[in-house]
Structure 1
Amino acid sequence: MESYTRVPGIVLCYLTLGCRFIWGVVGPLQGSVELPCVHHQPSGSIEEFTVYWQKKNVPEDLVVATIIAGKVDTRYVSEIFRGRAHFNPEGLQDGNYNLTLSNLSLQDSGEYKCIRLRNTNQDPKITETQLEVRAEFSTPVVGDVSSTHKLPTGNEWNLTCTSKGGLELPRIIWINATDGREVRGGRVHKDIQQIGDLINVTSTITLNITSTINISCVIVTKNGNVTSEPYKMEVTEEEERSSPHTLMVSLIIGGVVAVALTVILVKWGHINSKCPPSYRVPNNQTEEL
């Protein structure tokens, strides 16, 4: 993910105030962002200019960073920005006054101004930037309660999907990673954990599994969707044979075979009962004859 995103700028020029540049920038919570200070290449040395970075605030604006006589001056910088606002030293010599703001907090959202003044005629050049700090949910991670990719004994199987660091409660859906369709079957339970301004979510789905599946979890927010890596669960041949459907077929076949054998044995016994019994003459009677 990029550290910041700019929207198209607007340039407004005034006879008394010089040119005003307006930008929009998005930065990630606890990450870094570069605030643009867009001016034409100044004529003269850097020592001829004074640059102020300010954040709009009530009752008075906050000083974010300053450059006086070509050098970074932190004497007037507000305490909340100390150690977090930095210029590119090499860029300063070329008139690049872009400011990098690090370790962003939600309170850093707001309007910033870069004001460049020439010491001789006080002709200001102003760049305004609207900064929005966002807290995006992390890429969700899918796993099963037994931490194994083999189907556990029984018909039901529990999967969990965990994502952290969002600001608003998201919608969580489970999809078939093969065709992208939402998984409609099963029971779904969602747990929510609030830590300060941030939200962590865990979704648990309970499914009846009879064959191999490939599943993903999707975190749906107004700023876009975040999808987990596909999670594949394979069912072994032994488990497939022991599935309820396979077991039922085996019982039916076994019952048919048993009935057939019973019928054959009964008929065989009936045929034998019609044959005359064999008779053997005793030895003593044979001698008499």
Structure 2
Amino acid sequence: MSQVKDKLSFKSELCVFVSLVFAAIHLIQCGCEAQPQAIGPSQPVVATLGDATVLPCHLDPSSNAAPETVEWLRPDLNTRFVFVFRNGTELKSEKHPSYRGRTSLNVDGLKLGDISLRLSGVQLSDEGTYRCFIPTLGIEANMDLVVSSVPSPLTVGINRVGGEVMLECECAGWYPEPEVLWRNAEGNIVSAGPTETLRGPDGLYTVSSSVTVATNTPTHSPVNYKTTKPTRPERRGYTFQFQMSLSWLHLALVFLSSLVWLFA
């Protein structure tokens, strides 16, 4: 009788042991399955005014995001949502009015874990911090969007002032606000008068500047971005290079003045 009890006790203990082993294996498998993370860009996204851009965001490891709720938002807006995808469709009623008709997701890409947002017709007001968020998984990624513009060509004027020459330049359509730098042929900065800056109703800047130099000093003028934000892209610029020295330019002006005097 005692042997039967011992066998039953052994079988019970064995069943408990097997159950614990299977439970441990299950816990190990669950622990080894990586929780998806939302991955965004490490650098700010730079978009050109009026163009389309993509705010990249994807799941790592890759998994099907189509069944999930995907939210794109800007925390600084009163109506924070710029795009909401839920139950396989876009919830347009949740979107901020300024983004209506301008944001979308790649539905096929969602199946591969791509939750990137496409933004068309970029506006200056689009600049800011964006967040892609999947509430059902509790994961998110933040990124900055920086907006820049393509300025119009430089307008350059040359005026004679006594024995010197005044060089003037103007350029419109800048964003962000630029800084005007005059440099000589050796690349050294030439002291100039104060830069006049005007901001139009479209939010773009027009800058104008002038510098007076000796007639034997070859000079050129670049216009470069100046920014106080560390997240800005590297400064870009346009350079107008005078192809002849100002001494020859002085002679040309004297010659033209003589023609005017002869035919006056």
Q: Tell me which interval the TM-score lies in, with the shorter structure as reference length.
A: 0.5 to 0.7
Kindly indicate whether residue 182 of structure 2 is the aligned counterpart of residue 174 of structure 1: yes
What is aligned with 2:4?
Answer: none
Go from structure 1 to structure 2 and tell me whether the alpha carbon gap of 1:109 and 1:232 turns closer, same or farther (over 3 Å shift). Answer: closer
- Which residue of the partner structure matches residue 242 of structure 2? 232
- CA contact 2:130–2:145 (8 Å) conserved in 1: no
Counterpart residue number, 2:71: 52
Change (3 A) 1:139 1:92: same
CA spacing shift, 1:83–1:143, aligned 2, 3 Å? same
Deviation of the 1:202 alpha carbon: 0.6
- Confirm or deny: 8 A CA contact 1:37 1:127 kept in the other structure: no
Change (3 A) 1:218 1:94: same
- In structure 2, the partner of 1:162 is 170
**Quick one: structure 1 residues 96 and 207, their matched pair in 2 at CA, closer, same or farther if it must change by over 3 Å?**
same
Q: TM-score, normalised by structure 2?
A: 0.60
SS state at 1:91 partner: helix
**Per-residue deviation at 1:236?**
5.1
| Contact map agreement 2:38 2:58 (CA 8 A) in 1 | no
User: 1:25-79 CA distances to partner (integer Å, 9 max, x unpaired)?
Assistant: 3334624432222213225x83x333222222466x5222233343444343222
Equivalent residues, number: 208
More strand by share: 1
Q: Provide the residue aligned with 1:65 in structure 2.
A: 83
Whether contact under 8 Å (1:190, 1:201) holds in the other structure is yes
Select which of 199, 213, 216 maps to 2:205. Answer: 199
Shift of 1:80: 1.8
- In structure 2, how many angstroms separate the alpha carbons of the residues matched to 1:190 and 1:228? 16
Aligned to 1:275: none
Q: Which moved more, 1:97-106 or 1:66-75?
A: 66-75
The equivalent of 1:215 in structure 2 is 220
Unmatched 5+ stretches in structure 1: 1-16, 147-151, 244-289
Matches within 5 A, 1:128-143: 128-135=141-148, 138=151, 141=154, 143=156
Q: 1:108 to 1:227 in 2, by over 3 A?
A: closer
Is the Cα contact below 8 Å between 1:143 and 1:161 reproduced in 2? yes
Q: 1:38 to 1:209 in 2, by over 3 A?
A: same
In 1, the alpha carbon distance for the partners of 2:249 and 2:81 equals 69
Distance in structure 1 (CA, Å) of the matches to 2:204 and 2:165: 30
Structure 2 letter corresponding to 1:163: C
Pair 91,160 (structure 1): closer, same or farther in 2 beyond 3 Å = farther
CA contact (8 A) 1:112 1:129 kept: yes
Is residue 63–residue 77 contact of structure 1 (8 Å, CA) maintained in 2?
A: yes
Report the residue type matching 2:251 in the other structure: E
Q: Percent same amino acid among aligned pairs?
A: 21
In the alignment, the residues of structure 2 paired with residue 21 and residue 202 of structure 1 have an alpha-carbon distance, to the nearest angstrom, of 43
Structure 2: stretches of 5+ with no match in the other structure: 1-34, 256-264
Does 2:109 match 1:101? no
2: distance between equivalents of 1:58 and 1:210?
56
Provide closer, same or farther for how the CA distance between residues 167 and 112 of structure 1 changes in structure 2, counting only shifts above 3 A: closer
Please state how far the C-alpha of 1:125 moved relative to its aligned partner.
4.9
Q: Counterpart of 1:27?
A: 46
When residues 236 and 133 of structure 1 are mapped into structure 2, their CA distance, relative to the original with a 3 A threshold, is: closer
State the 1:86 CA deviation.
Answer: 2.0
1:221, distance to aligned residue in structure 2 (A): 1.3
Tell me which structure has the larger Cα radius of gyration: 1
Q: In the aligned structure 1, how far is the partner of 2:71 from the partner of 2:197? A: 43
Number of the residue aligned with 1:127 = 140
